[in-house]
Amino acid sequence: MKKAVVFLSVMFMTLSYGQEIKQVPQITVSGEGKVKVVPDQATITATVETKGNVAKDVKKLNDDQMDAVLKLIKKMNLAPADYRTQRVALNPQYDYEKKKTTYNATQTVEIIVRDLNKYDELMEGLVSQGINRIDNVVFQSSKLAQYESDARKLAMKEAKHKAEDYVSVLGQKIGKAITINDNSQTYYPQPVYAMRKMEMSDSGASKETLAVGEITITANVSVNFILE
């Protein structure tokens, strides 16, 4: 009985390998979708940096300045979830020529400004209260997830349109999609290393030194369609 089972198994395998592999006509295309939007919020990364000869004094001065900064932020009624301390450091720095050690203290705070009308007032206040380094300003959209979805849909539409262009010449049509690969890169808004400031010109009219502009959200896909 065992021999019969083995014999039947070998026959089945032989027949399977002997059958012709059916080729499925298909086409692979890529698509890209872009959505341009005007940012409605900004993330500011700012630092209080102090230096001196005595570590304790340097840290205290740094703490006092950061305390003033945090009080300013609270006074502007920003939500507690929209600001946080990002880094705190106190480092000795040895000068080999003078053979002397000094100390450098830094505290960095990250602030999300959801109302850009508060941007100018906040930036000016930060500097006046002790912030001496603006590390980064990034303009963003609060509806990023929605715009990413829109970009993906546009990418799929472009891929389908491209496939239809190719096969129309051959008198064929595209069928169902076999595979869809998302090749999109993680979106990182471009930083703006500048302070937005309203200044008065000689004529008395106000002018802006920084334009928020637009940000572009991009999606890329690769789609494999069956040909009919």
Query: pLDDT at position 22, please?
Result: 74
Domain with CATH 3.30.110.170 in the chain: 23-38+144-227
CATH of 41-140, one of 3.30.70.2970, 3.40.50.720, 1.10.8.640, 1.10.340.30: 3.30.70.2970
Query: Is the pTM higher than 0.85?
Result: no
**Tens-level pLDDT at each residue, the chain (228 residues):** 544 444 444 444 544 554 556 788 999 999 999 999 989 999 999 999 999 999 999 999 999 999 999 999 999 999 999 999 999 999 999 999 989 999 999 999 999 999 998 998 999 999 999 999 999 998 889 999 999 999 999 999 999 999 999 999 989 999 999 999 999 886 555 544 443 443 434 444 444 545 667 888 999 999 999 999
Separation of alpha carbons 91 and 51, rounded Å: 10
Contact between 64 and 107 (Cβ < 8 Å): no
Cα-based distances in Å from 118 to 6, 96, 115, 125, 210:
81, 46, 6, 11, 15
Cα-based distances in Å from 225 to 128, 158, 164, 192, 196:
60, 13, 10, 42, 49
Domain with CATH 3.30.70.2970 in the chain: 41-140
The CATH H-level superfamily of 23-38+144-227 is Protein of unknown function (DUF541), domain 1 (3.30.110.170)
